[in-house]
Amino acid sequence: MVVHGDVSDEDLRRVLEEFTGEIHQKPPLRASVKRESRKRTIYYVDLLERDANRVLFRVGCQAGTYIRKLCSDIGEVLGTGAHMQELRRTRSGPFTDMTGLHTLHELVDAQARFLEGDETMIRRLVRPVEEALEYIPKICIRDSAVDAVCHGAPLAVPGIVSVEDPFSKDSTVAIMTLKEEAVALAKSLVSSESVIQQEKGIAAKVMRVLMPRGTYPKMWRD
């Protein structure tokens, strides 16, 4: 970020601290979404380095936060104005720039080796979908319920074996097999506590199927 005037380190740190927590933000003019105020959470803002008016800082934020707008808002509170000079995304969910970045050249080489019968490189580059679900609450289901969910059927309580993480109603949950394979993403219709207490009823509505149909045997009637 470039600050448009003189500001002390103390004032800069104080203002950055003010932007942690829940903030209201309106997307910039050049945005792909409607320009209306919305709430976003800033988990932390760490000042890393400073060279005169150039400020290097790290932000942990909720998806959908505009860092360009954040810089502008910080400058407004400072009373000097500010703009974003450069942005680097270092993390998205469980993936970081230290573990998950590869070039297209590496991917092309991996595909060529795969076609020659060597899967080693492509398995290192293309990660299992389960790794992307690390921070999503999970529901483990019976083998007999897997293919029905793969066909888009809602998840009934009798098909559930266990709930790994607590969740509230209307949460996004990952439906998993007993072998910890991803079956689908779903929207919970009840809380995790209700799932444990109920013996029947619909627990979740499937939003996106991840496992191909027929991976598990069909054990349901048309």
pLDDT tens track for 177-191: 999 999 999 999 999
* Percentage above 90 pLDDT, the chain: 77
Q: Calculate mean pLDDT across residues 108-136.
A: 92
pLDDT tens track for 32-85: 667 788 999 999 999 999 999 999 999 999 988 999 999 999 999 999 999 999
φ/ψ of residue 147, rounded to 5: -65, -30
- Looking at residue 102, its amino acid is H
d(CA 193, CA 41): 26
Indicate if the pLDDT at residue 8 is higher than 80.
Answer: yes
Domain boundaries, the chain: 2-92, 130-209
Mean pLDDT of the chain: 92
Predicted confidence at residue 32, as pLDDT, reads: 67
CA atoms within a 13 Å half-sphere pointing along the CA-CB vector of 100: 13
Q: Does domain 2-92 have CATH number 3.10.20.740?
A: no
Q: Calculate mean pLDDT across residues 3-24.
A: 95
Cα–Cα separations (whole angstroms), residue 71 to 3, 13, 39, 87: 9, 13, 16, 11
Choosing among 1.10.1040.10, 1.25.60.10, 2.30.130.10, 3.40.50.620, the CATH entry for 130-209 is: 2.30.130.10
Predicted confidence at residue 37, as pLDDT, reads: 86
Q: Residue 47, exposed/middle/buried by CB under 10 A (0-12, 13-18, 19+)?
A: middle
